[in-house]
Amino acid sequence: AQSVTQLGSHVSVSEGALVLLRCNYSSSVPPYLFWYVQYPNQGLQLLLKYTSAATLVKGINGFEAEFKKSETSFHLTKPSAHMSDAAEYFCAVSLALPGSARQLTFGSGTQLTVLP
């Protein structure tokens, strides 16, 4: 079984400041990890994914995340926040098992507010 914990349901940063959204996972086998962004009344857009290659993953819109096995973490960062980054962010995990059900387990989400 796998699970995801996102610390902080709400995060506020000033425009231009560092964005750090925390995600810790639990998985009995090597995981695949994802970060998604959701704007109001819209579906989810993939920001980036970790699939057992490079531990530092770069995504769209200047976001990146680092897979740290020792800490079971996959925190999302962006050096400089933009007003358009305000949205809900979800961390998700799936099992890296060939032929698995490929289901995603989502964290509870973090609402990012960017202050002018």
Q: Which residues bind another protein (CB under 8 A)?
A: 32, 34, 36, 41-46, 49, 51, 90, 94-96, 98, 100-109, 111
| Minimum distance, C-beta of residue 92 to another protein, in the bound complex (Å) | 9
Neighbours of 14 (CB within 10 A): 11
For 112, the token pair is: 């990012």
Smallest separation (angstroms) from another protein to the CB of 16? 27
Would you give the distance in Å from CA 41 to the centre of its chain?
19
Q: Which is nearer to another protein, 5 or 77 (CB)?
A: 5
Task: Supply the minimum distance, in Å, between the C-beta of residue 108 and another protein.
Answer: 5
Q: What residues contact residue 57 under an 8 Å CB cut-off, 6+ apart?
A: 48, 49, 50, 64, 65, 66, 67
Give the span between the Cα atoms of 12 and 10, in whole angstroms: 7
Nearer to another protein, 17 or 86 (CB): 86
* CB of 17 or CB of 51, closer to another protein: 51
Contact 103, 1 (CB under 8 A): no
Closest contact distance (angstroms) between CB of 9 and another protein is 9
